[in-house]
Amino acid sequence: MLKGLFSFDNPVIKFFCLIGNLWMLNLLWLVCSLPIFTLGASTTALVYSCMKLRQDEGYLFSNFFKSFKENFRQSTLIWLMYLVVGALIGLGLIFWNNYNIPGSKLIWAVVIAMAILYVISVLYVFAIQSKFVNTIKDTIRYSFLIGFSHLKETIMLVLIVAGVILANLFTVFLVNFVTLNIGMSFVVYWMSAHYQKIFEKYIPKQEYPDDDYWVCEEAPKEDAE
Angle at 207 between CA 154 and CA 120, to 5 degrees: 15
Over residues 125-182, the pLDDT tens digits come to: 999 999 999 999 999 999 999 999 999 999 999 999 998 888 887 776 666 777 777 7
What distance in Å separates the CA atoms of residue 184 and residue 39, rounded to the nearest whole number? 12
Average pLDDT, the chain: 85
Q: Closest Cα to residue 119, out of 157, 92, 153, 81?
A: 157
Most confident of 87-91, 105-109, 169-173: 87-91
Q: Work out the end-to-end distance of the chain between its first and last CA atoms, rounded to an integer number of angstroms.
A: 46
Q: What DSSP letter does each residue of 114-152 carry, written as one string?
A: HHHHHHHHHHHHHHHHHHB---HHHHHHHHHHHHHHTHH
Over residues 189-204, the pLDDT tens digits come to: 999 999 999 998 887 6
